[in-house]
Amino acid sequence: MIQVLFADTDGFDAGDIASFERAYKNIADATVTELKLGGDAEVEISFFSEEEICELNARTRNIDKVTDVLSYPALEEIKEFSKQNYPFDTDDETGRVFLGSIVICTKRASEQAQEYGHSLQREMTYLFVHGLLHLLGYDHMDEDDKKLMRKYEELILSRAENL
C-alpha cells in the first residue's frame, strides 16, 4: 500500500484536498495492483504556484521555466517495500518506505485541463500518476520507455476509476 502525504496545498480548501485524497488513494492502490508492488510505502505531494515550481525547476534541474509536474525519487531501485530492503528510507514509526516527492503546478494543471477539455480533478490525477511512475523508475526519455510509461498511466487511471 502507498500512503499519500500532503505537504503544501497551494490554493486548495479542505474540500478540494479531501477530493484529491480519495482520488490519489485510488491511484496509489491501482498502481500497487497494476505494478504488483509489495510492502508499504509513502509519497509526498505538494501543489505549487508557477513562480514556486519555476524556481524549483531552475534550482534542481537547471531549467528556468514553469512545468506541470516534478518528481524527486528517493530510491535508486524498486523492490519490495520493506525495512530489510530499504533500511535508511523506512520511517521507523510507520514502517513505510519513502518513495519521494511529487510537485504539481496548480495553474499549469488548470490550463491543461481546459486545453484537453477535461476537469481539473482529472488533470491533477493524471499528473499524480505521471509523477508516481517517475518515482517508481519509469521515464519517457526514449520512445520505448515513453510507450511503456503511457501504457501504465492509462491502465492505472482506468483501474482507479473502477475502485
Q: Residues of the chain with pLDDT > 70: what percent?
A: 96
Beta strands in 15-159 (DSSP E): 41-48, 69-73, 97-105
Residue 38 predicted with pLDDT over 90: no
Q: Provide the pLDDT for residue 61.
A: 93
Mean pLDDT of 19-47: 88
Q: Residues of the chain with pLDDT > 90: what percent?
A: 36
- The average confidence (pLDDT) of the chain is 88
Residue 43 predicted with pLDDT over 90: yes
Mean pLDDT of 43-60: 92
Residue 123 predicted with pLDDT over 60: yes
- Chain centroid to CA 9: how far? 14
Q: Provide the pLDDT for residue 162.
A: 66
pTM of the entire predicted model: 0.88
Gap between the Cα atoms of 117 and 108, Å rounded:
14
Please answer whether residues 38 and 84 qualify as being in contact, where contact means their C-beta atoms are separated by less than 8 angstroms. no
Please answer whether residues 102 and 9 qualify as being in contact, where contact means their C-beta atoms are separated by less than 8 angstroms. no
Enumerate domains of the chain plus CATH numbers: 2-161 (3.40.390.30)
Q: Provide the pLDDT for residue 7.
A: 84
Gap between the Cα atoms of 69 and 120, Å rounded:
14
